[in-house]
Structure 1
Amino acid sequence: MTGEVTNLWRHPIKSHGREAVQTVTLNPGQTMPGDRVWAVAHEASKTDGTEWAPCVNFSRGAKAPSLMAISARTKGDTVTLTHPERPELHFQPATQQDAFLDWVKPLMPADRAASARIVRVPGRGMTDSDFPSISLCNMATHRAVEQKLGQELSPVRWRGNIWFDGLPLWEEFEWLGREVQIGQAVLHVRERITRCLATTANPDTGARDADTLAALNTWDHQDFGVYAEVIRGGEVKTGDKVQLL
């Protein structure tokens, strides 16, 4: 039984925008190219960008739902961010942090730690997992959550990297500890992804409008998607086959 890649997404700045791509070249032991290259440390964080740090150190959609409505485009060293309540911003994260901090400030709740600085760990994306991961998400599982809630949901609220269709509901959980081939690449599936309040926010508006966590809990867990590690590199594009090895 095989599935098919339906969408590829990267998130240049962790929790601050998503960008669709049609093809990527995955490398062993690395995150998706261009994914979570930067992260936004808040004023209570002690991380300095020298090593990976847990998500509690960063501004994120679980605490600031308006961030979920950011879209991103990258071209060279420049990132363009858009949001329904903010003007379009073009900036270089490495050298123009003040422009970004001014832009994002109105999107942050007053009772949360303010965004303070952009950090980057050389050589790896700032994934939520403590290893460089790529997240795999199943459209059948997404549709089941929609059915539980009785409303349509945009898949981008899950902030997954590789989306596939054509396989059974929750099939991805059967892959734990096993290898899956996607296009030319092979990945080792390591963990289920436990979800947070970020997924309750609408990625078009940034407003919390769906109790995704309650829906997941009807299956006696709060998980959606899996984290995988690239063990054999290669090109992955939309339309490629997804097959358990």
Structure 2
Amino acid sequence: MVISADFTGLPGAVAVSHLSVYDWPAADGVCGGTPHMHLTCSEAYVVTGGCGAVQTLTTSGYEVTPLALGTVAWFTPGTIHRLVNEGGLRITVLMQNNGLPEAGDAVLTLPPRYLTDPETYAAATAVPAHASEAEQERAARARRDLAVTGYRALRDADGPEPLAAFHRAAAALVRPRLAEWRERWRRGAEAAAADTGRRLGLLDGGDTAHLADAVVRAEQPSAHGRFGMCGRLDVYQGTLGHATGARL
């Protein structure tokens, strides 16, 4: 049996980025990032510097998880999360599906009028790639503040319907891209899991030929200081597998 892995990124199609969380104060006085939710992927934070917290909102309610040096915190799809920077917070982010959370699988908690269709949402969330850094920062801050407004309304709502309505709107926004995401998963996480199964089969039969194909890879970030949802990002293109570019 010949093993030909389609995915050559990090183990299990995990991707990483380095994040320096925004220290911009929002209207509520909290410094930090843009509240948002992933619909397909789990995500983990490994705190590498500073301190802060992650505020989360799910159907189980609102929680605050402290983040200190060495903390590893993770959450599953459907968790609205807002990073809070209480002093120099730096994080290594681990993402499922070769970086899909930074390549589309995220919906910001904008007020409902901005969630009606993909065009309206895109106009409210875009950070112009070729603008000056000052213009990019203004756009990133504006979308953060807009998302905080929607997030606080969801957090303070009476009853479950506003959060359920956000879930429905978010699902409708991403539906046109699900075929693209499914292919990304097939060529990444599914392929990685299938390769493990094939290797187990080879070893069970006493075949070690695949061990002769071992490789080592390393890379430096392909981009530094990109304006992400929660902070300035250093990204690794190789760990993103078949990504066509981060959509932040």
Per the normalisation by structure 1, the TM-score is 0.26
Q: Which has the larger radius of gyration?
A: 2
The structure with the greater share of residues assigned to strand is 1
Per the normalisation by structure 2, the TM-score is 0.26
